Copies of this chain bind each other. A is one copy, B any other.
């Protein structure tokens, strides 16, 4: 008989983040996490396939939210505006989870394999956003470029938001980073682009 554990997932997540921070990701086992959370090891495996999934399991929910939000933006929205709207909507997930987000960032920064996994996750996010843009009739290259630019805006926003002691709403960090991307990509000068003498 499976006994229901109140908020088992949340307790396991919190225990995992603590242990990864204390001992390092590599030196922590699923059994350690379950013990810290006061749960049986088999309970851990009811929620997570492995200890890496504690850090990356939220990615598919985030991706679903992003894709659904882009799909719901008015057809007249410019591709990058639709992508930015999706990342603003993701603030629903991040706001109120600042402490966990910070812990997660630190753990990933300390482990090369996790950094690689994070890169792959971001690349899949960009691919998913490009696909939904193409479904809306955006040309192939424009969809890829808007999705990649959007992911850069997101990572810039996330980086700052998670470093601030008392950050405001995540959406405002997305707006700021989007403004900076636009400033950086605006063709500043009417003259031809610079060419370097060979």
Residues in chain A within 8 A of chain B (CB atoms) = 69, 72-74, 77-82, 84-85, 88-89, 92, 116, 119-120, 123, 141-142, 144-146, 148-149, 152-153, 155-156, 160, 175, 177-178, 180-189, 193-196, 198
Contact = CB atoms under 8 A, between A and B. Distances in A.
A74 B194 CA distance: 9
Contacts of A69: 196
13 contacts: A73-B194, A77-B194, A78-B184, A85-B196, A88-B195, A116-B116, A141-B160, A145-B181, A146-B184, A148-B148, A149-B185, A182-B185, A185-B186
Contacts of A181: 145, 149, 185
A188 B81 contact: yes
B186 A182 contact: yes
